[in-house]
Chains A and B, each alone.
Chain A
Amino acid sequence: MTAAATPASSPATAGERPGVRLARSRRNAELSLLLLAMALVAAYGAMVEANVLDTVTPNFWVPAAVLTAVFLGIHVAIRFLAPFADPALLPAVALLNGLGVGFLRRLDLGNAAPEERADLAIFAGTGGRQLAWTLLSVLLAAGLLALVRDHRSISRYAYTLGLAGIVLVMLPAVLPASISEINGAKLWIRIGSFSIQPGEFAKLALLAFFAYYLVRKREVLSLASHRFLGIDFPRGRDLGPVVVVWVISLLVLIFQKDLGTSLLYFGMFVATVYIATERVSWLLIGLVLFFGGAYLAYVLGKSIGGPFLNFSVRADIWLDPFAKPYDEGYQLVQGLLALGTGGLFGAGPGGGQPTELPEVQNDFIFAGIGEEIGLFGLSALLVIYLLIVERGLRAGLAVRDSFGKLLAGGLAFTLALQVFVIVGGISKLIPLTGQTTPFLSAGGSSLMANWLLIAVLLRVSDAGRRPVTGGGKVNRPSGGPPEQLHGAPTEVIKP
Chain B
Amino acid sequence: MPELVITVARFGFLVLLWIFVFTVVGVIRRDLFAGARSGRLVAAPRTVGASTGQASAKPAKVKRGRAAHQLVVTAGQLAGTRITLGEAQITIGRAEDSTLVITDDYASARHARLVPRDGQWFVEDLGSTNGTYLDRAKVTGPTPVPLGVPIRIGRTSLELRP
Which residues of A does B touch, CB under 8 Å? 7-8, 10, 12-16, 18-23, 26, 29, 33, 36-37, 39-40, 43-44, 46-47, 50-51, 54-56, 86-88, 91-92, 95, 218-219, 278, 345-346, 348-349, 351, 373-374, 376-377, 380-381, 383-384, 387, 390-391, 394, 397-402, 465, 467-477, 482-489, 491, 493
Contacts and interface: CB of A to CB of B under 8 A. Distances in A.
B49 to A, nearest CB: 13
Contacts of B17: 40, 373, 377, 380-381
A484 B96 CA distance: 7
B63 interface: yes
A348 B109 contact: no
A399 B83 CA distance: 9
A488 B110 contact: yes
Contacts of A278: 77
A465 to B, nearest CB: 8
Contact of B13 (A373, A475, A489): A373
B98 A377 contact: no
Contact of A394 (B31, B91, B96): B31
A95 B17 CA distance: 10
Contacts of A491: 127
A19 B21 contact: no
A484 B90 contact: no
Pick from B7, B20, B95, B118 the residue with the most CB of A within 10 Å. Answer: B20
A484 B63 contact: no
Contacts of A50: 1, 5-6, 9
Contacts, number: 222
6 contacts: A22-B82, A55-B1, A56-B1, A380-B14, A387-B21, A400-B83
A398 B98 CA distance: 16
Contact of B24 (A26, A33, A475): A33
Contacts of B99: 400, 468, 471-472, 474-475
Interface in B106-124: 108-110, 116, 118-120
Nearest to A396: B80
A486 B105 CA distance: 12
B95 A482 contact: yes
A385 to B, nearest CB: 11
B101 A401 contact: yes
Interface stretch (B39-47, B65-73, B131-139): B65-73
Contact of B109 (A55, A473, A488): A488
A468 B95 contact: no
A467 B84 contact: yes
A397 B95 contact: no
A380 B11 CA distance: 13
Nearest to A490: B127
B16 A43 contact: yes
Contacts of A12: 87, 116, 119
Contacts of A391: 28
Contacts of A348: 6-7, 9-10, 13
A16 B98 CA distance: 25
A40 B5 CA distance: 17
Contacts of B100: 400
A371 to B, nearest CB: 13
Nearest to B103: A402
A493 B91 CA distance: 12
Contacts of A55: 1
Contacts of B20: 33, 36-37, 40, 91, 95, 380, 384
B52 to A, nearest CB: 8
A125 to B, nearest CB: 23
A86 B28 CA distance: 9
B98 A475 contact: yes
A483 B6 contact: no
B16 A40 contact: yes
B140 interface: no
Contacts of B127: 489, 491, 493
Contact of A219 (B80, B91, B95, B105): B105
Interface in B28-80: 28, 30-32, 34, 53, 56, 60, 63-64, 67-70, 77-78, 80
A26 B27 contact: yes
B56 A468 contact: no
Can you list the 3 inter-chain pairs with the closest CB atoms, starting with the nearest? Answer: A14-B119, A488-B109, A348-B10
Contacts of B128: 489
Given A36-B23, A468-B85, A483 B28 contact: no
A47 B16 CA distance: 13
Given A47-B9, A471-B89, A482 B97 contact: yes
Contacts of A219: 103, 105
A373 B14 contact: yes
Nearest to A477: B96
B127 to A, nearest CB: 4
Nearest to A15: B56
Given A15-B56, A21-B84, A468-B84, A476 B97 contact: yes
Given A18-B86, A376-B18, 16 more contacts: A20-B69, A40-B17, A87-B28, A348-B10, A351-B10, A400-B83, A402-B103, A467-B84, A468-B88, A471-B89, A472-B91, A473-B97, A475-B99, A482-B109, A488-B109, A489-B129
B152 interface: no
Contacts of B95: 482, 484-485, 488
B86 A469 contact: yes
A487 B109 contact: yes
A451 B145 CA distance: 43
Given A345-B14, A471-B89, A23 B84 contact: yes
